[in-house]
Amino acid sequence: MRHFFSWLILGILGFTLVTACNHDASQNISSLPKQPTAECRMVKHTMGETCVPIHPQRVVTLSSCTLGNVLALGVKPVGTTNEVYYDENSLTSVKGATKGIKLVGISQPNLEAILQLKPDLIVGVDWYKPIYPLLSKIAPTVLGKIDFPNWEDHFSFVAEALGKQEAEKALVDRYYQRIEQLKLALGTRYQDKKISFIYIGSGRISIDAKNSFAGSILNDALLPRPASQNIDSPYGAIDVSLEELEKADGDILFVTTYSSGGKEFLAEKRQEPLWKSLKAVRENHVYYVDFMSWAATNMLGTDVVIDDLFKYLVNTP
């Protein structure tokens, strides 16, 4: 499978999708009759149109970006997939709101586990097109797109699927109000500064591009980026070698780690002369942030990123 990092930066599933259930479970689901929905409304999605419950009570989400948006809209799903090992700290952008939600797969949905939850609506992204016929046998299923930097489009899609358009509008308005508050608090302090954001995994360093989730928020806040990051990238980020580390430099450097070896790799690289030569390192303007928040690709993640920008750019001397 492709590297998990690419998904979180772009929101495009990089894994080779195969059903996580055993063969017998898939056959059993295939034989299920299509589930009738008494009161429903039509929702357009990437697989066509589906009649979804007017007031769904048992929602299953496929992908953490969908999960965060569902939670932001005030709905707690009964089950979800996730792209990393799931525990109460795996999605810190949701601030503990995942407690009690059943894990139904790491990247690949376990169809049998979903069936046991008896959902009345399944909401996800179109990475799961190959198993859509099986999912739609379990419950009405709608699959949307996720495309950076237009992460709001998926939020809007999820709101439509849940019938939560009023809540969606209120949250979008709140996001832009917070952006305006941040811009006002920043004033002209950073107009001549460069804000860098990099990701460090096991054995790799990547610099953020402006079409990533975090990049779109920095752009909305009118925070200037280094030339190397003020570009679009197919994966929302660009891998660099240690010798190219100057591309990561800026007046302010935000750093996050991902994968099990990311922290160890960062600790090793921080001892390198090239790391110590970075301007942000020399001037003590390096700030470590949470990966699952800065790559959340959902409305809940925006609050954490904006909170961090207030914390480090406004409230830090």
* Model confidence at 134: pLDDT above 50: yes
Burial of 312 (0-12, 13-18, 19+ CB in 10 A): middle
Tokens of 266: 């960062």
Residues 6+ apart with CB under 8 A from 173: none
Q: Which residue has the higher pLDDT, 96 or 50?
A: 50
3-state secondary structure of 246: helix
pLDDT of residue 147: 74
Task: Find, among 153, 173, 142, the residue nearest to 59 by Cα.
Answer: 142
Fold of 4-163: Rossmann fold (3.40.50)
pLDDT of residue 99: 78
DSSP 88: T
Per-residue pLDDT band at 258 (split at 50, 70, 90): confident
Q: Which residue has the higher pLDDT, 39 or 118?
A: 118
4-163 and 185-314 share one fold: yes
Give the separation between CA 189 and CA 161, rounded to whole angstroms: 42
* Model confidence at 38: pLDDT above 50: yes
pLDDT of residue 90: 53
Q: What values do phi and psi take at 48, rounded to 5?
A: 125, -130
Angle between helices 165-186 and 213-220 (to 10 degrees): 60
pTM for this structure?
0.86
**What are 12-35's pLDDT values in tens digits?**
333 334 443 435 556 566 655 555
**What are 182-223's pLDDT values in tens digits?**
999 999 999 999 999 999 998 889 999 999 999 999 999 999
Q: Which residue has the higher pLDDT, 100 or 50?
A: 50
pLDDT of residue 10: 37
Where do the structural domains in the chain lie, given as residue ranges? 4-163, 185-314
Give the separation between CA 296 and CA 287, rounded to whole angstroms: 18
In which residue are the tokens 């998926």 written? 154
Give the separation between CA 211 and CA 57, rounded to whole angstroms: 35
pLDDT of residue 37: 56
Q: CB count, 10 Å around CB of 145?
A: 15
* Contact yes or no for 126/145 (Cβ under 8 A): yes
pLDDT of residue 8: 45
Task: Find, among 153, 159, 133, the residue nearest to 43 by Cα.
Answer: 159
pLDDT of residue 118: 96
Q: What's the chain's average pLDDT?
A: 86
pLDDT of residue 86: 45
**What are 80-132's pLDDT values in tens digits?**
998 765 444 454 445 567 778 998 988 789 999 999 999 999 999 998 999 99
User: Class of 185-314 per CATH?
Assistant: alpha beta
Give the mean pLDDT of 158-172: 97
Q: Angle at Cα 237 formed by Cα 86 and Cα 289, nearest 5°?
A: 50
Per-residue pLDDT band at 74 (split at 50, 70, 90): very high
Q: CB count, 10 Å around CB of 52?
A: 25
Q: Which residue has the higher pLDDT, 251 or 147?
A: 251
Tokens of 268: 């090793």
* Model confidence at 7: pLDDT above 50: no
Give the separation between CA 292 and CA 67, rounded to whole angstroms: 13
CA distances from 80 to 26, 60, 104, 157 (A): 19, 5, 6, 17
pLDDT of residue 22: 38
Per-residue pLDDT band at 6 (split at 50, 70, 90): very low
* Model confidence at 248: pLDDT above 70: yes
Give the separation between CA 120 and CA 114, rounded to whole angstroms: 11
User: With pLDDT > 90 as the criterion, what percentage of the chain qualifies?
Assistant: 66
Give the separation between CA 155 and CA 146, rounded to whole angstroms: 9
User: With pLDDT > 70 as the criterion, what percentage of the chain qualifies?
Assistant: 84
